[in-house]
């Protein structure tokens, strides 16, 4: 028999200490490839051929690169920007949807010491 967990048990409560610890950490840049859920149709009737065609198509693979704020058994949480007192929007991706996740860590030889900001090309 399938056991259903109540939503209240799905995630441990977040404590202010956990937030402080997360804010003090360096968030690594990660590359995440994941398969997205899709839906089509509205409250009215739909063309059967269009709906079956949609149903038979493979799910779309998505590629997201961002700063890894949090990772647990159920999901990862990423943001695209972090400032001293602000954070960009946060995206939570269920772990079951992730096909590949890599930490991005270039070697010192892969990146120049600084990038020109005047439109000049590097290299």
The pLDDT value recorded for residue 4 is: 52
pTM over 0.85: no
Of all residues in the chain, what percent carry a pLDDT higher than 90? 65
Residue of 29, 39, 30 whose CA lies nearest to 60: 39
Non-local CB neighbours of 99 within 8 Å, separated by 6+ positions: 33, 34, 35, 61
Quickly list DSSP for 8-49: HHHSPPP-HHHHHHHHHSPPPEEEEEEEPP-----SS---HH
**Annotated domain spans of the chain:** 25-37+50-104
Third-level CATH fold of 25-37+50-104: SH3 type barrels. (2.30.30)
Question: What's the pLDDT tens digit per position in 9-21?
Answer: 444 545 667 898 9
Average model confidence (pLDDT) for the chain? 84
Question: What's the pLDDT tens digit per position in 55-94?
Answer: 999 999 999 999 999 999 999 999 999 999 999 999 999 9
Residue 34 CA to residue 82 CA, distance in Å, equals 23
The pLDDT value recorded for residue 5 is: 46
Give the single-character DSSP code of 50: H
């Amino acid at each position: 028999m399938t056991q259903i967990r109540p939503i209240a048990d799905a995630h441990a409560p977040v404590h202010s200490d956990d937030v402080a610890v997360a804010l003090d950490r360096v968030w690594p840049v990660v590359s995440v490839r994941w398969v997205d859920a899709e839906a089509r149709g509205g409250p009215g009737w739909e063309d059967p051929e269009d709906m079956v065609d949609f149903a038979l198509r493979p799910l779309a693979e998505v590629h997201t690169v961002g700063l890894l704020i949090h990772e647990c058994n159920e999901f990862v949480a990423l943001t695209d920007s972090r400032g001293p007192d602000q954070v960009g929007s946060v995206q939570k991706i269920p772990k079951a949807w992730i096909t590949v996740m890599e930490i991005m860590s270039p070697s010192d030889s892969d990146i120049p010491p600084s990038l020109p900001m005047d439109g000049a090309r590097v290299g």
